[in-house]
Amino acid sequence: MIQIKTLNHFNNLEFPFIAITDTTGQSIHKVPLCHTVTQDRFEEKVILNHCKNGKYFDVQSIEEAKQRWPRIKLCPYCFI
């Protein structure tokens, strides 16, 4: 698991999942399949707001994310 801090990393992910943390909880998404994970949203949360309300992580597996965030939710759009 690697925290995504740059637009270059966001556009060139190493792993097939993104975990997004914010003040309301955590969620995991399949990339590039999930339409809710966009460059605009990443830039707003990470670049413009300096991760104040959350972070993005490049994640190898769902299990890895669940070890770090036991109550992480699967995205309802890409895990149907």
pLDDT tens digits, residue range 18-33?
Answer: 999 988 889 999 987 7
Is residue 15 situated within a structural domain?
Answer: yes
- Nearest residue to 55 via CA among 18, 80, 9: 18
Is residue 55 situated within a structural domain?
Answer: yes
Is residue 33 situated within a structural domain?
Answer: yes
39 residue type, one letter: Q
- Nearest residue to 51 via CA among 15, 8, 6: 6
pLDDT band at residue 2, thresholds of 50, 70 and 90? very high
Provide the percentage of residues in the chain whose pLDDT is more than 90: 79
Is residue 37 situated within a structural domain?
Answer: yes
Is residue 80 situated within a structural domain?
Answer: no
Is residue 26 situated within a structural domain?
Answer: yes
Q: Which domain, by its residues, includes 37?
A: 2-74
Is residue 79 situated within a structural domain?
Answer: no
Structural domain count of the chain: 1
Instruction: Supply the pLDDT for residue 24.
Output: 85
